[in-house]
Amino acid sequence: MLLPACAPAASAPDPAATASQAAGPATATAPPATSPPAPTVAPASPSAQAPAVDVPVRAATLGPTAPAQPAPTSLTVTGTAINMPVIPGGVSAEGAMEIPDAFDKAAWYRFGPAPGAAEGTAVIAGHIDTTSDRAPFSQLKSVPAGTAIQVGREGAAALTYRVVRVELMAKDKFDGEALFRRSGPHELKVVTCGGTWLDERMDYSDNVIVTAVLE
């Protein structure tokens, strides 16, 4: 799956049941029989918003399932202006993760693990700017290690994560399989666009990826 292009005011694509992306509206239920592909970064359009994520598509086999975790409802990053609602996101027809057009909302990839899951990566993405101003997610690139991230959840206690690293990944080297993984140690990834704006692509050159772990 891909992350949507980061042009001002566009939303990220939503992974379909067979799709290749992360982030369409949904509830915290088990993923579809066919996992959406891992997101990749797609170009942004002048009227578009946050970065797009491509989701890899592959056949899935059913195995023991862990209890479903509540869907995230809010995201707050200590020391920044990031304090916003989170809505479920899926995969767009283009195979990118769907992201809300509004710069003050973020999307959780509903086809992947939720915050608090036993394993895998919970992905939350949002726009870096609008056509006229920077969005709160523009502060992600400067968040120091150890910063607390609070995730509100539907009908459950909020979770606190701590930032362990912030990286800038070139969109032409985007690894959706690694970002949208379903196994391995549980992590939270908060993603937006970054780097240089490329007029010829109508998109940013990179993605800013903040990785955090549960306290």
- Within 10 angstroms of residue 147's Cβ, the number of other Cβ atoms is 18
Query: pLDDT tens across 132-145, in order?
Result: 899 999 999 999 99
Phi-psi category of residue 101: left, alpha or beta, with phi > 0 → left and psi -120 to 50 → alpha:
alpha
User: Euclidean distance between the first and final Cα of the chain, in Å?
Assistant: 29
Low-confidence ranges of the chain (pLDDT < 70): 1-2, 4-67
pLDDT given at position 213: 99
Domains along the chain with CATH numbers: 2-58+69-214 (2.40.260.10)
Query: pLDDT tens across 192-212, in order?
Result: 999 999 999 999 999 999 999
Residue 25: CB partners within 8 Å, gap ≥ 6? 14, 87, 88, 89, 90, 98, 110
- As to burial, measured by CB atoms within 10 angstroms (0-12 exposed, 13-18 middle, 19+ buried), residue 201 is middle
